[in-house]
């Protein structure tokens, strides 16, 4: 696991030594992603930098940037190729010899022999990399299928710059610094900025499953080599012909392979354990493979209704892991906020990033690699909102449209009158939706109408507005999964885990997000995915083989923090200072009167606006931390 940075100057407007100093500054800003080693490679047009967190092959043979044996290609790479051993066997059969045993070298020599497209098709892993072709003078940027590892880039005037984090790009004076107000609207809805946009105009994120090839012009050739929409279409068109037992066994086998591959490490490893289905299953499979107790880590809370620490402890005791727990109270959360915001790169309002950072910090005291259960809800339809959306649509679809609109308006109006106002406003908005996708969009949105709060911005259309998705993916549950995998999973969940874990130089691995597991899951008969309105049925069946169901069979809580309570209590003064009216008016990003109305509503006891307010609070905290005005 590493951090990468680089520049290409086809215009020759920058002196080579100045280019090297600039890349070195970017690379130094990524030291938390790679504290073990660093390197710079340069020629007359390109400079690549790298920070290394050594996981596989701790020797100097794993040093980067790495030049291929033929001398044509130079690679700066961040990530892990989990099937690198089998790829190495194929390469040896083709006559390739290796200097070491790092997956970096295997990836590079595979590209040199087979070409990038074949390698991307074969590689199972999480990665982002930059590949300089010295013969063709082209720079290729590529990213893994699900978007585990980040890569930002900006290009203008015949000059390209890229890095694992936007904060590294900001070490360059030429990096644009104007906040993109359209992206701000997206942020208010999603609580993060969806790729390929970033919060800054002219700075882009490489999308998952994509590679970009840059030449001397500022235009890049894009190729999408994997996307979940196509995977879902193929799964619906050619579903697996299997009964329940065979389907569960197939998932168990695929997950077993994914876990075993992710336990390959030359440094200590453990796992996050919340006590839920996904993390408990991963830990159970790890412990089955391990001769020693697996190190497990969890966060617990003081607030009743949020604490899952006791469940994690019971699973740990049953499986025989070496368990470590950290109690999260508001004081500890406040103390960590500056660090969390500092490593967020962009405004990021998933409040569980605080807990994720602290559990990563706890894990790093004992291990360098931690496996997680990320992806179970998206890939195996575990969110309760899937069944809720379907049930709600089935009820209101029979209502006449002419009746639904005035009822929705009435309920939204009454929502400000107190009492059951939160639920009235919620259902009023839902009743007014014309499609099930509209209902689902409502459940995903922190702000239902971002442009009412954001000044001078227009919200770009994204997948949640794409009416053609219904044609390609006619099954509603699968459609919701596609929306989540292509958006929420990548832009929120995986971003959160990457930034939190990398802040403490911890590598996080997600077996459920092995692309082979994902492709299998979308081929399962839809009836197997959910039973009795509850998702993740195959995962429940597999976990039941290892852990008694009473340890995990309970309503899902999610890995979050009680931000609504905190904004009325221990974080109230801190948040109030950030969104004070004069400050908001002077900055000009938000409607100060609208924001004050929502803040007062929350302080009066409404819980409806907690997540919405948190997006504004975290945007303002980000502006303070990174010096944006």
Active site residues: 2
Instruction: Report the candidate in 443, 396, 484 with the shortest Cα–Cα distance to residue 189.
Output: 443
Secondary structure E strands in 144-234: 152-156, 159-163, 204-205, 210-214, 220-224
Ordered alpha helix ranges (H), 365-420:
376-379, 384-396, 401-414
Give the rounded distance of the alpha carbon of 435 from its chain centre. Answer: 27
Tokens (6 digits) for 111: 């590209």
Q: Look at residue 76 and give its three-state secondary structure.
A: strand
Tokens (6 digits) for 242: 């299997």
DSSP 198: -
DSSP 64: S
The DSSP bridge pattern shows strands 66-67 and 73-81 to be antiparallel
DSSP symbols for 88-156: HHHHHHTT---SS--HHHHHHHHHHHH-HHHHHHH--EEEEEEEEETTTTEEEEEE-SS--S--EEEEE
DSSP symbols for 534-580: B--HHHHHHHTTTS-GGGT-S----S---HHHHHHTTTHHHHHHHT-
Instruction: Report the candidate in 217, 238, 234, 214 with the shortest Cα–Cα distance to residue 226.
Output: 234
The DSSP bridge pattern shows strands 369-371 and 507-509 to be parallel
How far is Cα 126 from Cα 254, in angstroms, rounded to an integer?
A: 17
Distances (CA, A) of 522 to 238, 479, 519: 10, 11, 5
Which residues, in sequence order, are CB contacts of 603 under 8 Å at separation 6+? 568, 572
How far is Cα 67 from Cα 246, in angstroms, rounded to an integer?
A: 46
Which residues, in sequence order, are CB contacts of 356 under 8 Å at separation 6+? 496, 497, 500, 501, 559
Which residues, in sequence order, are CB contacts of 136 under 8 Å at separation 6+? none
């Amino acid at each position: 696991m590493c951090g990468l940075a680089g520049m290409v100057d086809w215009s020759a407007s920058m002196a080579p030594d100045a280019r090297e100093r600039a890349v070195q500054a970017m690379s130094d800003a990524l030291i938390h992603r790679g504290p073990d080693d660093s390197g710079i490679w340069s020629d007359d047009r390109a400079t690549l930098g790298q920070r290394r967190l050594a996981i596989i092959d701790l020797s100097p043979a794993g040093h980067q940037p790495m030049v291929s044996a033929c001398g044509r290609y130079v690679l700066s790479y961040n990530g892990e190729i989990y099937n690198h051993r089998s790829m190495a066997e194929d390469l040896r059969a083709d006559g390739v010899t290796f200097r070491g045993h790092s997956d970096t070298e295997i990836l590079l020599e595979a590209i040199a022999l087979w070409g990038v497209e074949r390698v991307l098709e074969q590689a199972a892993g999480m990665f982002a990399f930059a590949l300089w072709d010295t013969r063709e003078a082209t720079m290729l940027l590529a990213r893994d299928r699900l978007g585990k590892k980040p890569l930002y880039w900006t290009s203008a005037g015949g000059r390209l710059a890229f890095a694992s984090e936007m904060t590294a790009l900001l070490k360059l004076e030429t990096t644009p610094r104007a906040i993109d107000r359209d992206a701000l609207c997206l942020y208010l809805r999603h609580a993060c900025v969806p790729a390929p946009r970033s919060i800054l105009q002219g700075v882009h994120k490489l999308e998952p499953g994509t590679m970009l090839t840059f030449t001397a012009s500022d235009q890049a050739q894009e190729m999408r080599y994997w996307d979940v929409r196509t995977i879902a279409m193929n799964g619906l068109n050619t579903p697996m012909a299997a009964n329940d037992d065979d389907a569960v066994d197939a998932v168990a086998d695929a997950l077993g392979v994914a876990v075993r591959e992710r336990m390959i490490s030359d440094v200590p490893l453990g796992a996050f354990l919340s006590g839920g289905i996904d993390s408990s299953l991963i830990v159970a499979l790890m412990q089955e493979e391990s001769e020693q107790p697996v190190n497990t880590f969890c966060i617990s809370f003081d607030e009743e209704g949020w604490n899952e620490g006791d469940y994690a402890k019971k699973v740990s005791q049953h499986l025989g892991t070496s368990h470590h727990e950290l109690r999260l109270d508001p004081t500890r959360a406040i103390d960590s906020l500056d660090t969390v915001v500092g490593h967020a790169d962009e405004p990021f309002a998933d409040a569980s990033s605080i807990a994720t950072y602290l559990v990563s910090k706890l894990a790093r005291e004992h291990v360098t690699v931690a496996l997680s259960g990320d992806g179970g809800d998206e890939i195996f339809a575990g969110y309760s909102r899937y069944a809720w959306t379907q049930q709600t649509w089935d009820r209101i679809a029979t209502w006449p449209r002419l009746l639904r609109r005035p009822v929705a308006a009435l309920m939204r109006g009454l929502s400000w009158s107190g009492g059951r106002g939160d639920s009235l406003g919620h259902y009023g908005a839902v009743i007014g939706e014309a499609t099930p996708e509209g209902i689902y969009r409502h459940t995903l949105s922190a702000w239902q109408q971002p442009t009412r709060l954001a000044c001078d911005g227009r919200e770009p259309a994204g997948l949640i507005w794409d009416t053609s998705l219904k044609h390609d993916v006619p099954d509603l549950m699968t459609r919701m999964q596609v929306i989540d995998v292509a958006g929420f999973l990548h832009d929120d969940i995986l971003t959160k885990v990457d930034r939190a874990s990398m802040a403490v130089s911890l590598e996080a691995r997600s077996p459920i997000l092995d692309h082979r597991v994902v492709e299998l899951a979308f081929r399962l008969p839809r009836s197997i995915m959910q039973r009795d309105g509850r998702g993740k049925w195959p995962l429940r069946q597999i976990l039941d083989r290892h852990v008694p169901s009473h340890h995990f069979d309970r309503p899902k809580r999610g890995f979050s923090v009680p931000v609504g309570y905190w904004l009325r209590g221990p974080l109230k003064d801190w948040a109030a200072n950030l969104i004070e009216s004069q400050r908001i008016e002077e900055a000009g990003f938000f409607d100060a009167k609208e924001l004050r109305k929502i803040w007062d509503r929350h302080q009066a006891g409404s819980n409806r606006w907690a997540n919405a307010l948190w997006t504004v609070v975290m945007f303002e905290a980000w502006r303070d931390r990174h010096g944006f005005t």
